[in-house]
Structure 1
Amino acid sequence: MQRFIFLLLIMLPFFSFADEIRGFVFVLEEGEKQPLPGVNIYWEGTTMGTASQIDGSFNIQQNDGQHMLVFSFVGYKQRVIHVSETNALEVLLEPNLELEEVTVVKKDRGTYLSVINPIQTESISGAELHKAACCNLAESFETNPSVDMSYSDAVTGAKQIRLLGLDGTYSLMQVENMPNLRGLATTFGLTYIPGPWMESIQVSKGAASVLNGYDAIAGQINAEIKKPDSREKLFLNTFANMEGRYEFNGNTNIRLQGDTLSTGIFVHASQLNKKNDHNNDGFLDSPLSKTYHLSNRWKYNNHRGYMSQLGISYLQDDRLGGQTVADWDMTPTVNEPYGVSIANKRFEAFYKSGYVSQDGKRAFAWLSNFSRHETESFYGLTDYKGDETRFYGSGIYTKYMGPIEEHTLNVGVSFIYDDFNEMLYGDDIQRTEKVPGVFAEYTFKPNDNLTLMTGLRADFHNIFGTFVTPRMHFRYHFAEHFTIRANAGKGYRTANVLSENTYLLAASRALQYTSDVMQEEAWNYGFSLIQNYTFLGRDLTLNTEFFRTNFKTQLVVDRETSAYYVILAPLDGTSYANSLQFDVRWQPIERLDLLLAYRMNDIKQTIGGELRDKPLQSDYKGLINLNYTTNLKKWMFDYTIQFNGGGRIPYVYEDWMSRVDMSSDYGHFSPYTIMNAQLTKYFRYWSIYVGAENLTDFTQPNPVAGANDPFGPDFNATNIWGPVMGRKIYLGLRFNLNYE
């Protein structure tokens, strides 16, 4: 495989094809350039055309004799431009003055499946984030068919996501295209990024670009934070629900030198101080919590090819779970109630800059971030402490080759430094990772219809030695309505054995492990087919995709071999994950968006010498999402229903055999359904929204096993497969003021 990729990297630059015109379409809104998606772009006198993407970009093939390019969009003046060279175009459309008294509104669908990117990518815009409460990154996927969100346990409030049926640890989590939320931030990191701070989210499936690292076994999730130079001057958001959760978010952008230098200030505060125990088991349904998060970002753009950004943030997150009589000042002893106390402090800083040459043929980018994370906690009588210092840096040089830039070469270097200190069961555990790496990626795009991306990187790990990561992505638009993608690639991941599994401490069994760190290795293969039609006069998108992940090495959480320990050990046998998904996106009537999706999961691991279904994993998921917006976007209504399949509950074999009263469904959970709804009323500068999560009030029965004796041998709050909180009704208010 590596030889094949190497030959491609050498041979592909010798091919050349027809010219291609690239560019962007903009409109002026309150003096600011804004991208305009959906613009019809075609060569005058022909039917050869395309449409601009969500970011306003477009690509169109130019044949001999074609020079007049037409740009047409309802409500704007048609423009015809003479194209004499292949440099990137910037086209500005002006409103049609004859329609001065008519307001033209184009409904933002919120999510888009890219047909241009060779990697299967779904973009989630701010419009989609407004369809639910979306208080943080973990809660941003309620309406998404690809990403599942669930609780890790019944006492800490830790949330986890799954992509392609695999735990979130196998997805590369990024903020601003830089790796983040790793190590000590793994368990609670998804709740650290407030939803109102985010500008958009990109979800990529399968092995990602080698530019981003050797991770991303299942895919990557990138959160883009609002930029200081955006037109948003002030944004405020308040939120409250009936369970006693209150939240405030605010951000403001300040322009210090026009659009050259700007800064953004972000504030987040949330708390839950109401003790909820709806199932009367004596344990809090969700932990009490207090969270504060402050951030400051700066951006400089000289508009001559150079741009840089930097920022700092500080977060403090305190949680108290366990029995309802536990309190913040308690000391963990057998004479006190069972409590779980977790305190996290996190400091982050980032710096990135980029330069593009005047001819647009060369570019250089530097990306780096730094984090310091400290955690101190106890789970009943078990203490866990840790601190982590992490640095990431990457330099990338980009070269566009050929007269129409059909060849793109990216080369660069990266470096990771990760210093870990942990304490569990009285043992001090220390280690330091140092990982320099080099990479190269070649993209061949002769026209709009074909893209081939090949990449190779080598990393030099001070613990695991040298390893090579090859990846390849292929995209072909082979007919008017059809786009196919295929990918194959290897991924590696450093498994932090303890910090990624601290939620398992919320049980009577101790953790048994032979090493605090190990390397996981897997191959990922994927195929997708996107079909775009016009059905009954409206856009219809059909998507089919299949991904398979084969693990060569893996950290296995074995809750079934021993009645006294949860065993964290390397894989001894086979482990794989298959994910097959179908989804349909259509607008059956004006302003009503419909999303139908169904995904089947086949995920198996060798546990205790036997290949079994991975426990606590639904074998399928169905989703229906309806979004309706009234004329001129005065009201918006959202409704989502999730159909979750059944699955296997882990059990100790001796316990299984000792049950004389066991039923046929022991060791399995049944399918269940979750419904969410939200109604939003929009005004000029503000909006008010009211909604409900888990409308049917479904909860997993008996989420805390052995709740009557939490210090006894049967206590376990980690076998969670469904919701632990029932119906949640909430109310929120948003205020938005833009620059004129």
Structure 2
Amino acid sequence: MYKKIVFVLFFISSFASAQEIIKGIVTDKKKQPLFGANIAWQNSKSVTKTDENGNFSIEKSTEVSILEISYEGFETQKIIVSSVENLSIILKEVNNLKEVTISKTKKSTEHSLYKVANVQTMGQKELLKAACCNLSESFSTNPSIDVNFSDAVTGNRQIKMLGLTSPYILITDENIPSVRGASQAYGLSFVPGTWVESIQITKGAGSVINGYESISGQINYEVLKPFNDIPFFLNLYGSQDSRYELNTNFNHKYSDKLSATLFLHGNTRQSRNDMNNDGFLDNPIGKQVNILNRWQYNDAEKGWFSFFNLRYMNDEKQAGQVNFNPETDKFTTNAWGSEVNTEKIEISNKTGYVFPDMPYQSFGFQNSFQSHKQESYFGFNQYTIHQKSFYSNLLFNSIISNTKNKFTTGINVAHDQYNEAVALNFNRDFSRIDNSLGAFFEYTFDNLDNFSLVAGARIDQHNRLGTFVTPRLHIRYNPWNQAVIRASVGRGKRAANIFAENQQLFASNRNFSILNSDGKLYGLNPEIAWNYGVSFIQKFKLLGMSSEVVFDYYVTDFQNQAVVDIDANAQQVLFYNLEGKSFANSFQAEFSIELIKHLNFKSAYKYFDVQTQYTSVQLQRALQAKHRIFGNLSFETHIKEKGQQWKFDVTYNWLGEQRLPNTNSNPVGYQLADYSPSFAVMNAQITRTFSSTFELYVGGENIGNYKQNNGIVQSENPFGTYFDSSMLYGPVFGQMYYAGLRFKIK
């Protein structure tokens, strides 16, 4: 039945006659795009709106020729349109609303009222509220993403969305799959925060255009564009835990069509810190070098645009006991230690073409090659993985009859070569090659008023996952002004890389076992899940102050899952196919308000019910708080003539009790309680801008100095039977303060 529907849509799109389309962009006098501006023909009730980039398209009216463009805080413009053309419209600000308008157009995090999917966009203003040394640290001020440490040894941060860890989130670099496979454990820490222009967070099933792997959502990050970048940027950072960082960007515009930026990043930590006195480093020592050369070509007259990226990264980490020396202690019982060395090479490009005489029609071509090589050991456990990946996506956009009916179709191919070997309580080579070929079709309907939907499906052939169909549906409805209701449903399927995704368990003396052997992925079957969700957003004035409430409820229901069982026995890790129920129910209520001009308060309450059927019992997922409370308060002073300004930001996170893995098989001295205590963490940052080119910032993390003192079981004897560093539910370092500076040449 579905194939017939797709065929009919293709048939209609092939023979439908396209109406004349007016396309344009709306900006302010500083060329900043205006998001959500109203575009309408005079005396017409049908209104379209500009997108996040200020772009719009509207059918040419056969009755009137006057186009009205309006936006809050700006003078309404009326333009006579005599033919199909691309318009560039600059709106003038109303003087008495000038400051209000700037605050609106540069909101740090924006919940879209007009996108069909449940998307929120974090801009650079939001990212600068915290140190944001890398992408894994960029979500501390966002309530939709939970950030936790994965274990008490590696210092690695793990993110969660809708109660599920990052492998269930599709993470993309400008819509090209990025953090996946071998890079799941540490990949987010390999993206410097200063490179990121914006982050789009999509809850629930994502678009079929980006693949079949998304289950709980998608995180897409946009890197700074050479055309919009400044000639020079410098960021220096230093922290109490002896982490030092250098970020610098060099931009050069070769012509009005070609521009390039060289991004340089380096960080190091050499001091050995043990703030909870367990004999182990709280954070690994090491260094990282990260280089990106990014080129952009734009030829608007002919409709061509392109990006080309060349990147190299080398990261070295050493963790373990404070007195561990790899030259004398590696693979001995002198001291317990770990090293994780990673080298990454990436080449990618994106090329697009917009038909000049048909601006609603375009095609794009994306290609990416990545080599990710990791060599590591954790005590006597050894893990090596080298993933070589190629990804290519060809897509075509057009309309069916008119711009109310749009579609995107295309094909993509993916090739992953894994050279993977583990030396645990067994020695195995799990090297393999994964190939997939897929085709997708996505239909978008928008009545240009209050209703839109995106219905898509893709069919893929994978040498291990088989041939399968992935359907996705998103619906948006605006029942009244400044309100939106959304619903979504979709299916996701993925290959679980059980060792790459669970490296925190290597830092223990558990025995690893795979109980199934008839599947094509480590003997296991692929993971399959359905995600259902609804959300409601209402923006309003409360006592004259701009306010917003958001309610989200999502359910992820697994048909199959690669279960990671650390509860059956405290000395074992078991991997097996799901037999029973596994689900994640997530509810979030968010409220934000501008208390006074430039003083913003944002709060959220989150509830998670995440359960899995283990060998003999259904349990709440370990190390997952059922209840979380988030609060953020930010204030900015008025910008003076020379650009001088103060910025203050405080973030509060409260985590309820978390179920701890079962340790009843350990001796009494090494048994943990059933649940962790609840605790709170508070972060703050103050930024002083001295001019439009120079600013200093100081901040603190975990200011309340909360520390988990029993993060490592049997820490006094790491070669003993009961040693385990994966029981981490809270921070181990305690208070941490940092400072830095930013300098720009514009």
TM-score (norm 2): 0.92
Partner of 2:657: 646
* In the alignment, structure 1 residue 485 sits paired with structure 2 residue 486: yes
User: In the aligned structure 1, how far is the partner of 2:633 from the partner of 2:84?
Assistant: 42
Q: 1:202 to 1:631 in 2, by over 3 A?
A: same
- How far does residue 649 in structure 1 lie from its aligned partner after superposition? 0.3
Corresponding letter in the other structure for 1:379:
F
In the TM superposition, what whole-angstrom CA distance separates every residue of 1:8-39 from its partner, at most 9, and x where no partner exists? 9589989999999764212353xxx4313465
Work out whether residues 560 and 608 of structure 1, in 8 Å CA contact, stay in contact via their aligned partners in 2.
no
Q: 1:87 to 1:493 in 2, by over 3 A?
A: farther
- How far does residue 157 in structure 1 lie from its aligned partner after superposition? 1.5
Partner of 2:359: 360
Partner of 2:285: 288
Work out whether residues 509 and 566 of structure 1, in 8 Å CA contact, stay in contact via their aligned partners in 2.
yes
In the TM superposition, what whole-angstrom CA distance separates every residue of 1:214-235 from its partner, at most 9, and x where no partner exists? 0110010011001111142111
Corresponding letter in the other structure for 1:125:
G
Work out whether residues 39 and 73 of structure 1, in 8 Å CA contact, stay in contact via their aligned partners in 2.
yes
User: In the aligned structure 2, how far is the partner of 1:526 from the partner of 1:85?
Assistant: 43
SS at match of 1:301: strand
Moved more, 337-346 or 46-55: 46-55
Stretches of structure 2 that go unaligned for 5 or more consecutive residues are none
In the TM superposition, what whole-angstrom CA distance separates every residue of 1:715-738 from its partner, at most 9, and x where no partner exists? 100011112221111101011222
Partner of 2:91: 93
- How far does residue 71 in structure 1 lie from its aligned partner after superposition? 3.7
User: In the aligned structure 2, how far is the partner of 1:286 from the partner of 1:710?
Assistant: 17
User: In the aligned structure 2, how far is the partner of 1:641 from the partner of 1:627?
Assistant: 12
Work out whether residues 120 and 205 of structure 1, in 8 Å CA contact, stay in contact via their aligned partners in 2.
yes
Match of 1:313 among 311, 314, 320: 311
SS at match of 2:622: coil
Work out whether residues 5 and 470 of structure 1, in 8 Å CA contact, stay in contact via their aligned partners in 2.
no
* In the alignment, structure 1 residue 610 sits paired with structure 2 residue 617: yes
Work out whether residues 57 and 360 of structure 2, in 8 Å CA contact, stay in contact via their aligned partners in 1.
no
Q: 1:295 to 1:23 in 2, by over 3 A?
A: same
Corresponding letter in the other structure for 1:261:
L
Query: Aligned residues, how many?
Result: 728
SS at match of 1:631: coil
* In the alignment, structure 1 residue 114 sits paired with structure 2 residue 145: no
Q: 1:704 to 1:6 in 2, by over 3 A?
A: same
Q: 1:446 to 1:650 in 2, by over 3 A?
A: same
Match of 2:709 among 687, 701, 705: 701
Corresponding letter in the other structure for 1:695:
I
Partner of 2:729: 721
Stretches of structure 1 that go unaligned for 5 or more consecutive residues are none
Q: 1:701 to 1:545 in 2, by over 3 A?
A: same
SS at match of 1:184: helix
Corresponding letter in the other structure for 2:532:
Y
SS at match of 2:496: strand
User: In the aligned structure 1, how far is the partner of 2:141 from the partner of 2:12?
Assistant: 41
Partner of 2:605: 598
Q: 1:638 to 1:102 in 2, by over 3 A?
A: closer
User: In the aligned structure 2, how far is the partner of 1:672 from the partner of 1:537?
Assistant: 35
Corresponding letter in the other structure for 2:699:
G
Q: 1:6 to 1:79 in 2, by over 3 A?
A: closer
Corresponding letter in the other structure for 1:464:
L
Match of 1:570 among 553, 577, 587: 577
Partner of 1:676: 683
- How far does residue 203 in structure 1 lie from its aligned partner after superposition? 0.4
Q: How does 1:161-560 map to 2 (within 5 A)?
A: 161-257=159-255, 259-303=256-300, 304-358=302-356, 359-403=358-402, 405-425=403-423, 426-513=427-514, 514=516, 516=522, 518-560=525-567
Moved more, 697-706 or 520-529: 697-706
User: In the aligned structure 2, how far is the partner of 1:208 from the partner of 1:38?
Assistant: 23
Q: 1:286 to 1:5 in 2, by over 3 A?
A: farther
- How far does residue 478 in structure 1 lie from its aligned partner after superposition? 2.1
SS at match of 2:215: coil
User: In the aligned structure 2, how far is the partner of 1:643 from the partner of 1:81?
Assistant: 53
User: In the aligned structure 2, how far is the partner of 1:106 from the partner of 1:28?
Assistant: 15
Q: 1:22 to 1:113 in 2, by over 3 A?
A: farther
User: In the aligned structure 2, how far is the partner of 1:238 from the partner of 1:487?
Assistant: 43
In the TM superposition, what whole-angstrom CA distance separates every residue of 1:324-350 from its partner, at most 9, and x where no partner exists? 001243442343210011111111110
- How far does residue 672 in structure 1 lie from its aligned partner after superposition? 1.1
In the TM superposition, what whole-angstrom CA distance separates every residue of 1:224-249 from its partner, at most 9, and x where no partner exists? 00111114211110100111010010
In the TM superposition, what whole-angstrom CA distance separates every residue of 1:335-369 from its partner, at most 9, and x where no partner exists? 32100111111111101100011121321101111
Q: 1:389 to 1:661 in 2, by over 3 A?
A: closer
In the TM superposition, what whole-angstrom CA distance separates every residue of 1:167-194 from its partner, at most 9, and x where no partner exists? 0100001001100111111110010000
SS at match of 1:169: helix
Q: 1:637 to 1:605 in 2, by over 3 A?
A: same
Q: 1:533 to 1:374 in 2, by over 3 A?
A: same
Partner of 2:592: 585
User: In the aligned structure 2, how far is the partner of 1:674 from the partner of 1:503?
Assistant: 23
User: In the aligned structure 2, how far is the partner of 1:337 from the partner of 1:270?
Assistant: 26
Work out whether residues 18 and 447 of structure 1, in 8 Å CA contact, stay in contact via their aligned partners in 2.
no
TM-score (norm 1): 0.92
User: In the aligned structure 2, how far is the partner of 1:302 from the partner of 1:58?
Assistant: 19
Corresponding letter in the other structure for 1:130:
L
Work out whether residues 561 and 653 of structure 1, in 8 Å CA contact, stay in contact via their aligned partners in 2.
no
User: In the aligned structure 2, how far is the partner of 1:338 from the partner of 1:736?
Assistant: 44
Q: 1:261 to 1:311 in 2, by over 3 A?
A: same
